[in-house]
Amino acid sequence: MRKSKPLVDAKGQVRELSMAEIKAMVPAKKALPKSLQTKLKFRGPQRSPTKERITIRLSPDVVKTFRATGDGWQTRVDAALKDWLRSRKAAKAP
């Protein structure tokens, strides 16, 4: 494998790419691992706020358990609280 010239010089200027370098390029979707592609996705701003940002104190074991479930753990806390609200409402119904 031949050594290619650096893309950026000492001043931070990007050099012009050769046609061979341009042809060798691949889309990020093919070059990046799936895990990194997922992290780089940009969702954009919400159309209208659907949730409210608050501060809440929870037991360390509760937080640890939910965090251990991975990305989206706060959404799962929200779902658990909604489920609790539904069960309370059902219990109070005549």
Taking only the tens place, the pLDDT of each residue in 52-68 is 889 999 999 999 999 99
Q: How far apart are CA 36 and CA 29, in angstroms?
A: 10
Longest dimension (CA), the chain: 79
Give the residue with greater pLDDT, 5 vs 73: 73
66-91 pLDDT, tens digit per residue, is 999 999 999 999 999 999 999 998 88
* Global pTM exceeds 0.75: no
List of residues 6+ apart from 5 with CB closer than 8 A? 15
The reported pLDDT for the residue numbered 65 is: 97
Taking alpha carbons only, the member of 43, 2, 40, 48 closest to residue 21 is: 2
Q: Determine which of 8-12, 19-23, 35-39, 51-55 has the lowest per-residue pLDDT on average.
A: 35-39
